[in-house]
Amino acid sequence: MTGQRFKQIAKDGVLINNPTFRLVLGTCPTLAISSSAFNSLGMGLAVTFILICSNAIISSLRKVIPNEVRIPAFILIIATFVTIVRMFLYKYVPELYSSLGVFLPLIVVNCIILGRAESFASKNPVLESACDGLFTGIGFTLSITLMGIFREVLGAGSLFGVKLWDFSIGYFSNTAGAFLVYGLFIAGFNALYEKFEQNRKARNYVEIMQASSMAGVEEAKASDTKEV
């Protein structure tokens, strides 16, 4: 895998195809879990681990799994790693295990993981698929954790369980507040993304014009040299 390909996969996972704010996937856990920064981070890391492992295995078996049963096979592979994560959390992080509740086993049918398995891992080499899982997971983790921080600070007056002040706005801890915060983050992220794209296109245009100008100068110099 070339450096350029690595950069493209990283940019796609975190920015261009951000699963939470650009593709709006995994909405249920995003809305339900993001009331707490700790729970958000835990869910994000769990999804990232499962994405990396499932993508790598699915990619390595992409030429073996029959096309007719690929979706059941993908779900079986994903369910295996979800079970590993559940056992680990139950044993070593029981508080997080209890907080994530039903949304932990539901990772098996999470649109983000199934979507990357179907659209990327089943068509690309193992290393690229693992990187895709890593950066897609990072994009999801950053998104849901930022929402968790925002909602916990305003809704509970704390951050990662540490009390900051007594003032709080309970609205941000409930379902309606989750939808409002999600909408605001989507709008803000996409506004920044569009601004980034405009600046990138402007820089590319300037570079192309400068290159054309330099080429014209070099051509003129070459022409003058021939005449002499």
Position 78 pLDDT exceeds 70: yes
How is 145-202 classified by DSSP, letter by letter? HHHHHHHHHHHHSEETTEE--S---GGGGSHHHHHHHHHHHHHHHHHHHHHHHHHHHH
Residue 212 lies in a domain: no
- What is the domain extent for residue 109? 3-190
DSSP 204: H
pLDDT band at 126 (very low <50, low <70, confident <90, very high): very high
Position 224 pLDDT exceeds 70: no
Work out how many domains the chain is built from and give that number. Answer: 1
Please give the share of the chain, as a percent, with pLDDT higher than 90. Answer: 61
Position 29 pLDDT exceeds 90: no
Residue 210 lies in a domain: no
Residue 139 lies in a domain: yes
Mean pLDDT, to the nearest integer, of 113-123?
A: 92
Residue 120 lies in a domain: yes
Q: Write down the pLDDT at residue 21.
A: 93
